[in-house]
Structure 1
Amino acid sequence: MGTVAPSPVIRDVERSAVKKVARRLVPFVALMFFVNFLDRTAVSFAEPNGMGDDLGLSAAQFGLASGVFFIGYILLEVPSNMALHRFGARRWLARIMVTWGIVSLLFTWVQSTGQLYGLRFLLGVAEAGFFPGAILYLSQWVPARHRTKILALFYLAQPLTTVIGAPLAGLLINQHGAFFGLDGWRFMFLGVSIPAILLGVIAWFYLIDRPADAKWLTREEKDWLTAELARENGTKTDGAKAASGHGGRGALKAAFTNGRVWALSLVYFGFIYGLYALAFFLPTIISGFEEQYGTHFSVLDKGLITAIPYLPAAIALFFWSRHATRHGTRAWHVAGPAAVGGISIPLALYMGSPSATIAVITVTACSIFAALPTFWSLPSQFLTGAAAAAGIALINTMGNVAGFAASYITGWLKDFSGSYYLPLFVVGGFMLLSAVLMLWLSTRPLPQAADAEQELITTGH
C-alpha cells in the first residue's frame, strides 16, 4: 500500500518537535540514569578500597551482596512499571529516585555483611521500575523511526557513569577521615546518594507526562506528535491494542504470552550478564594487576583505569546507533556486537600486560554498549500502552536476573577456581548465545505480528 510523502511543512514540524524532545527531556532523564547506575554500582568501588576488608567479604560474599540487589528489583519491577503507567512518569520516577537516594545514603553506616545484604536488597526494591520506566517514558514521546537515536542519547549515560563516576569515586574515597571522620569508602556512599534525592525532587516539577501538556512545544508540534504516536499505536498487534485498553490483566497477558518478548528477554540476558560482570568486578580485577603483573596503582589510578573502557564504549554506542538509525535496524546490529564481545572477553586475562588486558576489555565494553540502544528500540514496535509497560518490564526483569547471576556466579567461580579466567569464559558464552538467538529470532516472525515488527527484525526497513 502506497503512502503520501509528508509536505515540507510537516517535515519541519517533525524535525523541530523531535529536536525539542531531545533537548528538553533526554538530557535530564539521562542524568537521572547516570545517578541511578552510579548508586547501583558504587559498591564495586567500595569493595577493593576498604569495604571488603572492613566487613571481611570473600569474592562470593561480595558477589552475593552485589547480586541480591536484583532480587529486590525483580520482585517489584513489573508492578512498578504498571504503577508508572497508572500514575504517570513524573510522579513515579520522582518517587523512585527519592526512595533509592535515601536507601543509598544508609550504606554510609553499614557495619556487617548481613546489613550489606539487607541494604542491597532494599536498594533493588527502591530502584525497581526506574530503567524500564525511563525507556517507556521516552518511547511515548517520539515515533518509532526516531526512537533508536533518542534511546542512544539516553543510554550514553551508562558508560559515561563509569567514565566520570570511577574517578569521582576515587576522589571521594581519597577523602579518608576528612569529613565527619568517615572512612573513604563510607564518604563515597554519602557523596553519591545525595544527588539522587535532589534530582527526584526536581523531577517532580520538571518532567511532563505527555506531549499535549508540554508548554515548550508549539500547537502544531503537539498535534503532530500526538497524532503520529496515536497512529503508530493503532498499527501494533491486536493483543497489544486490546491490552492497552483493558488495563493490568490484559496487558500482562499480552506481554507474557508474546513469544517475541520472551526471545528478546533471553537475548538481553546475555548482554546484561556481561555488563554487570564488568561493572561489579572490573575494579577488583584491576586491583589484582599488582599480583598478576607486579604493577601497583593508587586508588585514583584504579578509578581512572576502570574508566578507560567506557569512553570508547560511549563513542561506539553513539556511532553504532546512528548507523542503525540511518540504514535500518537489522538483526546483526545486535548479534554482531554480541559475537565480538563473546569472543573478546575470555581473552582478556591471557594478555601479557595491564594495558593489553584493558584493551581487550575495552573491545567487550564497546560491544555491549553499542548494541543496547538498538535492542531497546525493538519492544515498543509491537507493544503499546499498558502492554508495552509490562513487556519492557518483563525484558528488563530478565536483565536483572542476569545481573544477579553475573554478580553471584562470577564471585563464586572466582573463589572456586582461584582466578577470573573461568568467570570470563562464562561471560563470553552467554554473549555468544545472545548472538545466536538474535539471528535465529530474525528468521522466525511470529503469527499476528504487525508488519512493522517483522520488518524491524527481519529486513531492517
Structure 2
Amino acid sequence: MMMIKRASYTNPTLNVAIDKIWKRLVPLMFVLYFFAFINRVNIGFAQDVMQANIGLSDGAYAFGASIFFVAYAIFGVPSNLLLNKFGARKWLGITSILWGGVAVATAFVQNNIEFIILRFLLGMTEAGFYPGILLLASIYFPNKVKGSVIATFILCVPLALSIGSPLSGALIQMHLLGLQGWSWMFIVEGGIGAILGAFALYYLDDSPSSARFLTQKEKDILNKKLQQEEQVTQTSSIFLAFKNLNIWCLAIIYGFIQVAVYGLMFFLPSQVASLIGSQTGFEASLIAAIPWICSGFGVYYIPRIADHYTNHRITIAALCMVLAGFGLFFSTISNPLIAIIALSCSAIGFLSVQPIFWILPSQILSGPALAAGIGFCTTIGGVGSFIAPNLRVQIDLLMHNNYAGLYTLSIIAFFCTFLILMLSYASKHNYKTIEA
C-alpha cells in the first residue's frame, strides 16, 4: 500500500516534538478506542444467547441498545468539561477503567432491568471518552496534522467492525469455569479496556507543558504554535461558545452524519444478505465487511490528503458527503456488485469526513469552550445515533418501500454537504490555517 507522509512544518524542532507525541499518545488511544467501540457494539453477538440463558426480551434488548446513546448524549458535555478541569491523564484513565468495569459487569446480568441499567451506565461512562480523545488531540497537536491524528482513531471503527467482530464471535464460543461464552466476551473485552485505562493513569501527561518525554525546547516551540492557533479562535468562553451559530451548525452536521452512519451500520448485514439471497450468516458477514475494509483505506488516505491541502479541507469534507450520498442512493440497485461498491463508497465517505470535521471546532473555540463545543457536538451525534435505526424503519413502513429509508439517508448526506458549504461560506475567515 502506497504510504502518504504526515503533513509537516518547516521548523524541524516542531516536527520532532510532533513525532514524539504521535509515538507516545496515538497507539494507546487507538487501542483504547478500539476496545471501547467493540464494547459498544458487541451485544449484537450476545443477543440470542442472552435471550436463551437469562430470558432477555426483544424489547429489553432494543431498549438497552438504544439507551446507551441517550446516556451518551446526556453526559457528553459534562464529561468533557470535567476532563478540561481535571486533566487528560486522570479523566481518560478513570473513564476507561469505569466503562471497562461496566462492560465486565454485563457478564453477570440476570434480568432485563440489570441489562438496561448497565447499558445506560456504559453510555454514561463512555460519554467522556471519545470527546476526551478529540480534546487531547487538540491539546497536543497543531491543526496541520490534526486530521491525520484523528483519522488514526477513526480507523478503529472499520477495524472493530471487520476484525473485532470475529474476536467477539470466537470469545462467545468459549465456555470456562461455569460461565457462558457471552459472559467471557464481556469479561475479556471489558477487562482489557479497564487494564489499559489503569495504564493510562501512569502513562499520559495532561499537556505539552507537563509532557515528560519532550525537551524544554520542544515544549516551547510546540506551545508557541498552539498559542498562535488559539489566538485566531473566536472565544474561550463556555457561555459564548453556546451562543456561537457556527458551533450549532457543526453540531447539527455531526448529528446528521451519525444518523446516516448508524442508519447504514445497523442494517448492513441484513441488506447484504438480501442482495446475495442468503441468511445473515458467515457468508453474509464476510461480504458485509467489504465496505468497512474499503472505508479503512479512505480514512487513512483522505484526511492525510486534506492535511496537505489545508485550504481545501472544507471542499474535501463536502466531497466525502457527496460520495456517501450517491453511495447510499445507488446501494438500492438490485445488482449485488453495484450495490456493494455503492455501500463501500458510502462507508468511505461517512468515516473519512469525520477526522476532517473534528478539526473545525478547534479553529473556532479554545480552552474550556473547546471542551464544551466538542462535547456538544458528540451529544447531538448521540441523539442522531439513537434515532437512526428507528428513522429508517419508520420511513420504510410509512412509504411502503424497503428502500425509502436509504433514500432518506442519501438526502440527509446531501443536506450535510449543503450545510458544510454554507458554513464554509459564512465563516471562511475562521478556517485559515497558520503556517510555521
TM-score (norm 2): 0.89
Identify the match of residue 251 of structure 2 among 256, 265, 274: 265
Question: Alignment identity in percent?
Answer: 31
Which whole-Å CA distance do the structure 1 matches of 2:397 and 2:61 have between them?
11
Report the counterpart of residue 298 of structure 2 in structure 1.
316
Alpha-carbon shift at residue 154 of structure 1 (Å): 2.5
How far residue 267 of structure 1 moved from its aligned partner, in angstroms, is: 1.1
Distance 1:373 1:9, change over 3 A: closer
Shift in Å, 1:415: 7.3
SS at match of 1:217: coil
Of 323, 340, 343, which residue of structure 1 is paired with 2:326?
343
- Structure 2 Cα separation of the partners of residues 111 and 281 of structure 1: 28
> Within 2, Cα distance between the matches of 1:303 and 1:97?
29
Partner of 1:217: 214
Q: Which residue of 2 aligns with 1:124?
A: 123
Task: Supply the distance in 1 between the matched residues of 2:398 and 2:45 (Cα, whole angstroms).
Answer: 23
The aligned amino acid for 2:414 is L
Which consecutive segments of 4 or more residues in structure 1 shift more than 6 A? 414-419
1:365 partnered with 2:347: yes
Asked if 1 retains the 8 angstrom alpha-carbon contact of 2:73 and 2:381, the reply is no
Q: Which amino acid aligns with 1:74?
A: A
Conserved in 1, the CA contact under 8 Å of 2:93 and 2:198? yes
SS at match of 1:179: coil
The CA deviation at 1:118 is 2.5
Match of 2:79? 80
Whichever residue aligns with residue 138 of structure 1, its letter is A
Report the 3-state secondary structure (helix = DSSP H, G, I; strand = E; otherwise coil) of the residue aligned with 1:309: helix
- Quick check: 1:44–1:280 contact (8 Å CA) kept in 2? no
- Assess if the C-alpha contact under 8 Å between 2:205 and 2:212 holds in 1: no
Q: Which amino acid aligns with 1:86?
A: K
User: Against the structure 1 CA distance between its residues 118 and 424, is the aligned structure 2 distance closer, same or farther, given a 3 Å change threshold?
Assistant: farther
2: CA distance between counterparts of 1:120 and 1:411? 23
**Residue ranges of structure 2 left out of the alignment (5+ in a row):** 1-7
How many pairs does the alignment contain? 424
Contact 1:263 1:437 in 2 (8 A): yes
8 Å contact kept, 2:233–2:365: yes
Counterpart Cα distance in 1 of 2:46 and 2:335 = 27
Distance 1:306 1:44, change over 3 A: farther
Which residue identity does 1:236 align to in structure 2?
T
1:27–1:154 contact (8 Å) kept in structure 2:
no
Amino acid at match of 1:221: E
Do the aligned partners of residues 347 and 187 (structure 1) sit closer, same or farther apart at CA in structure 2, a change above 3 Å counting? farther
Question: Aligned pair in 2 of structure 1 residues 346, 57: CA closer, same or farther (>3 Å)?
Answer: farther
Partner amino acid, structure 2, of 1:218 = T
Q: What amino acid is the match of 1:361?
A: L
Does residue 352 (structure 1) correspond to residue 351 (structure 2)? The answer is: no
SS in 1 for 2:232: coil
Counterpart in the other structure of 2:432: 455
CA shift in 2, pair 1:285/1:44, >3 Å:
farther
Quote how far apart the aligned CAs of 1:197 are. 0.8
1:331 to 311, 314, 320: 314
**Equivalent residues of 1:41, 1:280 under 8 A apart:** no
Amino acid at match of 1:94: G
Per-residue CA shift, 1:66-92, capped at 9, x if unaligned?
Answer: 221111112211111111011001100
Equivalence for 1:233 = 230
User: After the TM superposition, which residues 90-109 of structure 1 pair with which residues of structure 2 at under 5 Å, given as runs?
Assistant: 90-109=89-108
Residue type of the alignment partner of 2:417: A
The 1:454–1:202 alpha-carbon spacing in structure 2 relative to 1, beyond 3 Å, is closer
Report the CA distance shift for 1:115/1:86 in structure 2 as closer, same or farther (over 3 A).
same
Q: CA deviation at 1:369?
A: 1.0
Which stretch of structure 1 is more off in the superposition, 112-121 or 409-418?
409-418
Q: CA deviation at 1:275?
A: 1.8
* Residue in structure 1 matched with residue 374 of structure 2 by the alignment: 392
Pair 67,9 (structure 1): closer, same or farther in 2 beyond 3 Å: closer
Q: 1:454 to 1:142 in 2, by over 3 A?
A: closer
| TM-score normalised over the length of structure 1 | 0.84
**Distance in 1 between residues matched to 2:330 and 2:165, nearest whole Å:** 24
Distance 1:417 1:118, change over 3 A: farther
8 A Cα contact 1:166 1:307, kept in partner: no
- 2:32 paired with 1:32: yes
Amino acid at match of 1:230: Q
Note if contact 1:66-1:408 (Cα within 8 Å) is conserved in structure 2: no
TM-superposed CA distance for 1:364, in Å, is 0.9
Conserved in 1, the CA contact under 8 Å of 2:320 and 2:352?
Answer: yes
Residue 143 of structure 1 aligns with an amino acid whose one-letter code is P
Between the aligned partners of 2:342 and 2:10, the Cα distance in structure 1 is 47
Please state how far the C-alpha of 1:270 moved relative to its aligned partner.
Answer: 1.8
Q: Is 1:383 aligned to residue 365 of structure 2?
A: yes
CA contact (8 A) 2:70 2:123 kept: yes
Q: Find the aligned partners of 2:209 and 2:340 in 1 and give their Cα distance.
A: 47
The 3 A distance-change label for structure 1 pair 101 and 310 is same
Gaps of 5+ in 1: 1-7, 244-250
Structure 2 equivalent of residue 247 of structure 1: none
| Contact 2:307–2:313 under 8 Å retained in 1 | no
Residue 144 of structure 1: how far off its partner (Å): 1.6
Change (3 A) 1:184 1:205: same
**Distance in 1 (alpha carbons) for counterparts of 2:362 and 2:395:** 37
What code does the residue aligned with 1:55 have?
L
Q: 1:62 to 1:420 in 2, by over 3 A?
A: farther
Deviations 1:268-310 (A, max 9, x none): 1121112222333334545x54xx64425645x4554443221
Distance 1:158 1:15, change over 3 A: same
> How far 1:172 moved relative to its partner?
2.0
| Aligned partner letter, 1:89 | A
Compute the displacement of 1:230 (Å): 2.0
Paired with 1:108 and 1:277, the residues of 2 have a C-alpha distance of 28
* Counterpart Cα distance in 2 of 1:12 and 1:97: 35
Cα distance change, pair 50–425 in 1 and its aligned pair in 2 (3 A): farther
Q: After TM superposition, give the deviation of residue 9 of structure 1 in Å.
A: 11
Deviates more, 1:404-413 or 1:430-439: 404-413
Q: CA RMSD in A?
A: 2.7
**Which shows bigger deviation, 210-219 or 133-142?**
210-219
* 1:172 aligned residue: 171
Q: Would you say the 8 A contact 1:236–1:382 is kept in 2?
A: yes
Give distance in 1, aligned partners of 2:51 and 2:166. Answer: 19
CA–CA separation in structure 1 for the residues paired with 2:172 and 2:111: 19
